[in-house]
Amino acid sequence: MKFRLIMVFVDDARLDPVVEEARAAGATGATVIINAQGQGLQQRFGIFGLELMEPRSVALILVEERRADAVLDAVSRAGYLDESLSTGIALELDVVRAVGLTEHVKTLAEKCPP
């Protein structure tokens, strides 16, 4: 079974809808990293000239290859990723090799045969 990793970088407020929609589209879960920091196209400076970085959350969603397009489209809509410069981004990567998924693969095969 082949997998893809979808990485979604969004504002904290949009994280829950993104993960919920990913599940609805066929993802079985996500690993979330909170308090990531990011810079946009333009640097922003605050008091004393210190650079302000936007707090973000990162959702790492490992999905079966055949479900990847639907999940990526769902997280894009849920996170409003194409609405403005500052809403976030999502990307999809091929997973060459993954371990620790034997039971996950069995469960997926039972629920959704190829």
User: In this structure, what CATH number is given to the domain that contains residue 13?
Assistant: 3.30.70.120
| Interacting residues of 99 by C-beta distance below 8 A, sequence separation 6+ | none
Question: What does the alpha-carbon distance between residue 54 and residue 40 come to, in Å, rounded to a whole number?
Answer: 8
18-58: pLDDT as tens digits: 999 999 998 988 999 998 876 666 666 667 766 666 778 99
pTM, 2 dp: 0.81
Tally of domains in the chain: 1
Question: What does the alpha-carbon distance between residue 72 and residue 111 come to, in Å, rounded to a whole number?
Answer: 21
71-99: pLDDT as tens digits: 999 999 999 998 877 788 999 999 999 88
- What is the per-residue pLDDT for 11? 87
**Residues spanned by the domain of 102:** 3-40+49-111
